[in-house]
Structure 1
Amino acid sequence: MHWIVLSILIDIQKKAFSIFYGYLIKELPGLLTDLLIHSILDKLTFVDDTLYSFYHQFF
C-alpha cells in the first residue's frame, strides 16, 4: 500500500514538473524580454537623473 501511494505521488510530481517546465520554456522569452526592457529603462532613467542633477549643478 505504501509503495502504491508513493509511486502515485512521484507520478503526480513528475507531471507537475513537466507542466511547470513546459510553461516556463514557453513563457521564458517574454519574461527575459520584460526583464531586459526594465533594466534598460532603469539605466536610462539613472542616466537621465544624473544628467539632470549635473545640469542643475552648473546652470
Structure 2
Amino acid sequence: MKNSQNQMWVVDDLTNAERLENARLFDETQRLLKITEERAQELAVINSVQAALAARVEHSRHL
C-alpha cells in the first residue's frame, strides 16, 4: 500500500511539473507572438513608405 501511494505522489508531482511547464511555455509563446505581431506592423509601415517613395521616384522619371 505504501509503495503504491508513493507512486501516486510521484505521478502527481510529475503531472504538476508538466502543468507548470505547459503554463510557462504558453506564456512564452504569447509573449513571442505579441513581439512578432508588433514587428509585422512595423514592417507593414516600412513597406508602405517604401512603396510610396518608389512611386514618387517612378513618377519623377516620367516628368
**Corresponding residue of 2:53:** 52
Unaligned runs of 5+ in 1: 1-10
Is residue 2:39 matched to residue 1:20? no
Shift of 1:25: 2.2
**Corresponding residue of 1:41:** 42
Corresponding residue pairs, total:
50
TM-score, L = length of structure 2: 0.55
The one-letter code of the counterpart of 1:58 is H
**Percent sequence identity over matched residues?**
10
| Cα RMSD for the two superposed structures | 2.6
Q: Please list the CA deviations of residues 27-51 of structure 1 after superposition, one character each: whole Å capped at 9, or x if unmatched.
A: 2332121011011111111111100
Unaligned runs of 5+ in 2: 1-10
Larger deviation: 23-32 or 34-43? Answer: 23-32
The higher radius of gyration belongs to 2
Distance, in Å, in 1 between the alignment partners of 2:50 and 2:17 is: 45
Which 4+ runs in 1 deviate beyond 2 A?
13-20, 25-29
- Tell me, what secondary structure is at the counterpart of 1:20? helix
